[in-house]
Amino acid sequence: MKIGLCQLRVEPEREKNLEKTAQLLKAAAGGGAEMAVLPEMFNCPYQHDLFPVFAEEEGGETTSLLSRIAREEGLWVVGGSIPERDGEKIYNTCFIYDPDGNRVARHRKLHLFDIDLPGKVTVAESATLTPGEEFTLFNAGACRVGVGICYDLRFPEYARILSLRGADLLVIPAAFSQVTGPAHWEILLRTRAVDNQFYTAGVSSVPNPSLSYLAYGHSMLVDPWGEIKGALGEEEGVLVGTVDLSRLQEIRSVLPLLTHRRTDLY
């Protein structure tokens, strides 16, 4: 499967973000991608007090755009994430659409990012967001895809359960910061790939100096051997790479660590 990692700079205006989103998804399809992945909170600034302002119900402007582009381009669309309003609650949610424009899965971020690195970065997602409660997997042709959002990547239990449930690829829409990104982004994507013997695709927004929160960018595709198959910097653009299921099976065959687990002990 050809996968397109769509990296954009989020603007303060929803309409500008949706215009960029459409352009990048079409560029991914034009580059041969069968699936395209967007960043976390691609339609609004990553700022917890703005999540309620930008929040939409499913079927709103953003999800309607994703469904339409998926259908027009014949593309699997992993819709990064948006602030989703559901009754009185707001979730950090990724909507996934098949090439007919049908919503086939929805991932609500399980682990809310509440951290305080004094003088560097402070985030409190739980001030406005509700955590999800479900693991997310879907089948895109022969490829079984697991979904996590940003902070979910830091929890090895979640990735391992997705692997044991058959995931060939873990997609991670994200907005790692300029502090945590350089320290941990690549390490985490490569470690999850090696430990679970699947591909990882991390897709981040890039920094916008006009916003209070600066994202890291550096979207990348990693294979089950831990090799980086392609990466972007801090520029907007699309990276198209290949999820090679034969390569995955080869690695699992020569290094069958998942079958060597001591389930009698742990």
Cβ distance 12 to 45 under 8 Å?
yes
Distance CA 40, CA 54 (A): 14
β-bridge partners, 97? 77, 103
Catalytic site includes residue 109: yes
User: What is the length of the chain?
Assistant: 266
> For 82-145, what is the HEC assignment?
EEEEECCEEEEEEEEECCCCCEEEEEECCCCCEEEECCCEEEEHHHCCCCCCCCCEEEECCEEE
* Residue 89 is among the residues annotated as catalytic for this protein: no
Catalytic residue among 6, 94, 143, 150: 150
How many other CB atoms are there within 10 angstroms of residue 87's CB atom? 6
* Rounded distance between C-alpha atoms, residue 91 and residue 55, angstroms: 9
| C-alpha gyration radius of the chain | 17
157 is catalytic: no
Residue from 40, 56, 73, 84 carrying the catalytic annotation: 40
Residue type, 185: W
Cα diameter, the chain: 54
Residue 74 to residues 70, 99, 137, 148, Cα–Cα distance (Å): 6, 4, 20, 23
Active-site option among 109, 125, 143, 229: 109
Question: Which residues are marked as active site?
Answer: 40, 109, 150
